[in-house]
Amino acid sequence: MKSDYVHVYISTLHFSNYLEIPLYQVQLRSWIQGNVSKCERSLFVFDEVDKMPAKVIDALKPFIDHYEYLEGVDFRKSIFIFLSNSGSNEIAQKALQHYENGKIREAITLKEMEDVVIASAFNTEGGLKMSELISAHLIDHFIPFLPLERRHILLCIRDYMISHNFKPTDERITAIADSLQYFPKANPIYSSSGCKRVAQKTELFMSAEREKDRQRFEGFQDDDVL
Give per-residue pLDDT as tens, 60-74.
999 999 888 888 889
What are the residue ranges spanned by the domains of the chain? 6-135, 150-216
pLDDT at 66: 86
Which H helix or E strand runs over 182? strand 182-183
* Calpha distance 207→152 (Å, rounded): 23
Spatial separation of the C-alpha atoms in residues 68 and 93, rounded to whole Å: 41
Q: pTM of the prediction?
A: 0.83
Per residue in 84-105, pLDDT (tens digit) is 999 899 999 999 999 999 998 8
DSSP output for 134-165: HHTT--------PPPBHHHHHHHHHHHHHHTT
Q: What is the rounded distance in angstroms from the CA atom of residue 206 to the CA atom of residue 183? A: 26
Contacts (Cβ under 8 Å, ≥6 apart) of 48: 10, 11, 12, 83, 84, 85
- Which of 207, 225, 209 has the alpha carbon at shortest distance from 169? 209
Q: pLDDT tens, position by position, for the chain (226 residues)?
A: 688 999 999 999 999 999 999 999 999 999 999 999 999 999 999 999 999 999 999 999 999 998 888 888 899 999 999 999 998 999 999 999 999 999 988 899 999 899 999 999 999 999 999 999 999 999 999 999 999 999 999 999 999 999 999 999 999 999 999 999 999 999 899 999 999 999 999 999 999 999 988 887 776 665 555 5
